[in-house]
Amino acid sequence: MKARKSMNSRGLSFPVILISGITAAFFLLLGLLVVHRITRVWSPSLKNAERLLQKKKYAEALAVIEKAENGKEDKPALLVEKGRIWFSLALEREKRSRWRDYGTDESNWLKSVEAEKALRCFKKALKLDPENTEAHYLLGQLYMEKGWYSRAETEFLEVLRKKKKHVNALLNLGVTYTQMRRLDLAERELRNAYVMAPDDPAVAKNFAYLYRFYLDKPDSAIAWANRYLNLDPQNDLDINFIRNELEDMLQRYPEYTPSEPMEWKKPRKFKSRFGKSED
């Protein structure tokens, strides 16, 4: 009697067949996971558009929003996000040109195709949902950039009518009043923002601007600029300007040395690759 061979008709052993099957199943599963991931990441949804905008993938974010508009998602929310993307693109355009064209038209400081598309989106969202707080807030910001401060004031007040503790609306309302030279109101709104967000560098920075350039109070300007720098604002484009202004004021007005410590003057410590703290 002949011994049985562990071979199939094609001459492959059972272990080889088993390993081949497992390998094929693994790659099939991997492919399905990749497809699922791509589908989830690029599916037309508000969440994916927000994620892409955070990564500054503007074209992809707009494509996702436009596809989502054909679905059943909240139309005003999609319009607000679409407007936010166009608004971000308008500001990005100015940054790339080093703000060369910004403010050249006194009647409309931020004048571009992207800004106008953002404006239309916000207005359309509010037509569908007049109580949309985010649309009012972003429209107020856009009006500020355009130099339309009275309109910006109206939008921020509308936000605060619905949400009294909206810190960013209070902050921007304070900035708006500063630009309108309604300085008592500017000071009041910034103080309201400070009560709710005492550790917000933007609040301290705008107080420093108000007292330095509008109210001519160097003692208060020094105190707030020092507080701003102590809060160690991350990625704020104004940090070097504020530091230079503060150092200049400290030299000019030595009698106004801030009561709070000047932590920003101390050398920063960091951990070396060996785990020890170094200066």
Each domain of the chain, given as residue ranges in start order, spans 42-268
CATH topology of domain 42-268: 1.25.40
**What confidence score (pLDDT) does residue 198 get?**
97
Closest alpha carbon to 218 in 241, 177, 250, 262: 250
3-state secondary structure of 237: coil
Compute the C-alpha angle 130/136/140, nearest 5°: 150
**What confidence score (pLDDT) does residue 271 get?**
42
Cβ burial 149-187 (10 Å sphere, 16+ → b, else e): bebbbebbebbbeeeeebbbbbbbbbbbbbeeebeebbb
Give the chain's mean pLDDT.
Answer: 86
3-state secondary structure of 44: coil
**What confidence score (pLDDT) does residue 220 get?**
98
- Which residues are registered as beta bridge partners of 7? 13
Give per-residue pLDDT as tens, 257-276.
999 999 998 765 544 433 44
Q: Which residues of the chain have pLDDT under 70?
A: 1-21, 23-42, 72-73, 267-279
Cβ burial 234-254 (10 Å sphere, 16+ → b, else e): eeeebbeebeebbeebbeeee
Cβ–Cβ under 8 Å, residues 210 and 216: no
**What confidence score (pLDDT) does residue 25 get?**
58
